[in-house]
Amino acid sequence: MTQFHSLIAGVVLLAATAVPGTAQDSTDNSVHISLVTFGPGPLVWERFGHNALWVRDPDRGLDVLYNYGIFDPGEEGFLLTFIRGRMVYWMVPQPPWVIDRYIAANRSVWIQDLNLTPQQRLRLRDFLANNALKENREYRYHYYYDNCSTRIRDAIDNVIGGRIHDLTANTPSGTSYRFQTQRLTVDDIPLYTGLLIALGNPVDKEMSAWEEMFLPLAVRDRIRDITVLDESGVERPLVAAERVLNLDPRYDGAPEPPHWLFAYLITGMIIAGLIAWLGMRPDVAGRVRRTAFVVTGGLWCLIVGTGGVVLLFLWTLTDHSTSYWNENLFFFNPAALVVVGLLPFMRRGGRWLRAARIVVAFVAVTGVLGVMLQVLPGVDQVNGQIIALVLPANLALAFVVLRGSHSPSAIA
């Protein structure tokens, strides 16, 4: 279902939820609330799954899914807010037939009926209705710390007295944000690699079970083990009943991140070998060799330098906090962009060659330094695959330029 259609459905239902009830309007069990969890899908924003709260109140004729995952890519300034990490999402009510749309799209769907007291159900119903009002529905979205799933986790937790937080905040999950991101994007290598590059040191700390519930499926799993007190003071499971409406594991990702270090190293060595071969082969026609080396080396430096500029931008000028302190800047060095301009002129020797020599040496040394610093505490970003991919080619380029510095014609 498109975000636009979701918004239209929300507008249709808004009148039914615009006036929150009070705890005095019902004391029986007529209100039913369920957590609905949708499995991952093929699109980028579907890779981590989704969830919603389903509220049914026959006395009011209310049958609504509350969805915290609405955004409008067509709104004015959306691209700028996305780039700056300042996206605004909305919570809207939707009709329950939205569930059928997910099933039709071959998304897995689980329904968990929540074992809440009548008063807790009323509080949660009224909270959600109030949150859906135009003046309350917007929130500053964060992929890991404040998303559709954490909002639902917090809403449930609030009405049961912080029980979920108390039982999970100090429980290690055994995973990290990077761990979960990698395993859920394993079937999309460009996306997998891009996120591996863009995410910095903050995503490598071990999450608590509470933090892990940024994933909808983690909320589904964790609340199975949560108990609450009923009206009589008896401890009962938070999940009263659970059912599966559809099951399709195609986009569920891998159980754990793949071990692709060797594959990235082979790729990096192939790129490095090509740069070295073009730069050092004396038996290749001069003009062809020079052109091929300049184009290949320049393209590689353009990738490395532009990547570094993007990483530096994410760290210093945006609110993408999970891209801060990114150790991949040792390898994606913005200085490599200078080499792009110098390569075509190195044949002239002199200051052009000296400048190129200084810059490629700097790019290579920072990469080596980035590896050496891994032994220090706190410099432990999980970026071995990126090192294996980028460092060999940076070293190969430096080797060719520095080795040929005594004879311009040898390299250009």
State the pLDDT at residue 329. Answer: 97
At residue 104, the pLDDT reads 95
**Residue 251: predicted pLDDT:** 87
pLDDT in tens, 281-319: 655 556 777 788 999 999 999 999 999 999 999 999 999
- In the prediction, which pLDDT does 28 show? 58
For 146-213, the DSSP string reads BSHHHHHHHHHHHHTTTHHHHHHTTSEEEEEHHHHHHHHSTT-HHHHHHHHHH--GGGGSEEEHHHHT
Q: Report the distance separating Cα 73 and Cα 224, nearest Å.
A: 35
Please, what sign has the CA dihedral across residues 162, 167, 172, 177?
negative
The residue ranges of the chain whose pLDDT is under 70 are 1-28, 281-286, 404-412
Q: What is the pLDDT of residue 375?
A: 83
- pLDDT value, residue 406: 38
- In angstroms, the CA 180 to CA 149 distance is 15
HEC profile for 338-366?
HHHHHHHHHHHCHHHHHHHHHHHHHHHHH
Q: What is the pLDDT of residues 64-118, one digit of tens each?
A: 999 999 988 878 888 899 999 999 999 999 999 999 999 999 999 999 999 999 9
Stated pTM of the model: 0.87
Would you tell me how many other CB atoms lie within 10 Å of the CB of residue 56? 17
Separation CA 63–CA 144 (nearest Å) = 29
CA gap 236, 197 in Å, rounded: 45
Cα–Cα distance for residue pair 137/120, rounded to 1 Å? 21
What pLDDT is recorded for position 279? 86
